[in-house]
Amino acid sequence: MTSLLRPCVWLVLLLAASFGMTSLRPLFAALFPTLERPVYLQEGFAALLLAHLELVAVSGVLAGIIGIAIGVAVTRPWGAAYRGLAETLSAAGQTFPPVAVLAIAVPSMGFGPQPAVLALLLYGLLPVVQNTIAGLTQVPPAVLDAATGLGFSPFRRLWRVELPLAAPLILTGLRVSVIITIGTAALASTVGVTTLGSPILLGLSAENTAYVLQGAVLIGLLALAVDAMFDAALTLFFAGAGRPAGGTS
């Protein structure tokens, strides 16, 4: 069960840091003696974490559902005409830096959380679509023929055969998507959304290094905890198939 240990450690650290940051005041006061306010108190860190998670969860869940649906649709006979376009777009779109996408999308749709979710969702779709297509097309034709020969309906074949076989790659795509979203959501603070990026931005503009450090530690721990959870899920269910090469924002 060592595979579960790593996510648990990161998770405990994350929760301890978000609930206990304020009680570390003496430490930050000692580290940054010149600062009048060594701990960010505008919002509680747990509330910031929750707001951040909400943003990531909404866009992540939607990106997962829509991305997998697109990937499934373009690999069916009736949607095959769109597969080339979906592949080209999901590959080319990922060359666009996420921060630039946020900078273009959010102001043009109005400032605030909803446009940010939309921008995060659109960008988060790309790795999910790409990996769902890759996962579904690598299912060997012989397996599909066998399922059809057993009398599986197309839907049952998809649900019981294709999706389970494609699951490791789909989960890997979701992992890349969610990790990018966690980082980009932090940047959404620049367009007025309250996230874990807020202490960093306030700290940078008010030259309060302690605020920057507090926000940075929490964002880092959040990304590592979520990544470790995906890693554990992949190891537990699929014996560690498909580690991503990277993906940051």
Of 56, 75, 227, 229, which lies in the binding site for another protein, with binding defined by CB under 8 A? 227
Residues 68-87 close enough to bind another protein by CB under 8 A: 81-82, 84-85
Residues 152-211 close enough to bind another protein by CB under 8 A: 179, 182-184, 186-187, 190-191, 197, 200-201, 203-204, 209
How many CB atoms neighbour CB 17 within 10 A?
19
Question: Which residue's CB is nearer to another protein, number 78 or number 155?
Answer: 78
What is the total count of residues that contact another protein (CB under 8 A)? 51
In the complex, what is the shortest distance from the CB of residue 218 to another protein, in angstroms, rounded to a whole number?
8
In the complex, what is the shortest distance from the CB of residue 222 to another protein, in angstroms, rounded to a whole number?
9
In the complex, what is the shortest distance from the CB of residue 179 to another protein, in angstroms, rounded to a whole number?
6
Sign of CA dihedral 51, 57, 60, 63: negative
Residue 209 to residues 24, 33, 145, 195, 196: CA-CA distances in angstroms?
A: 15, 11, 61, 18, 15
Helix (H) or strand (E) holding 104: helix 98-109
Task: Name which of 138, 130, 133 is nearest 177 in CA terms.
Answer: 130
The one-letter amino acid at 84: G
> Which residues, 6+ apart, have CB-to-CB distance to 125 below 8 Å?
63, 66, 67, 70, 90, 177
In the complex, what is the shortest distance from the CB of residue 115 to another protein, in angstroms, rounded to a whole number?
11
- Report the C-alpha gap between 231 and 172 in whole angstroms: 9
Is 19 near another protein (CB under 8 A)? no
| Chain residues that interact with another protein, rule: CB under 8 A | 31, 81-82, 84-85, 88-89, 92, 95-100, 103-104, 106-109, 111, 179, 182-184, 186-187, 190-191, 197, 200-201, 203-204, 209, 212-213, 215-217, 219-220, 223-224, 227, 243, 245-249
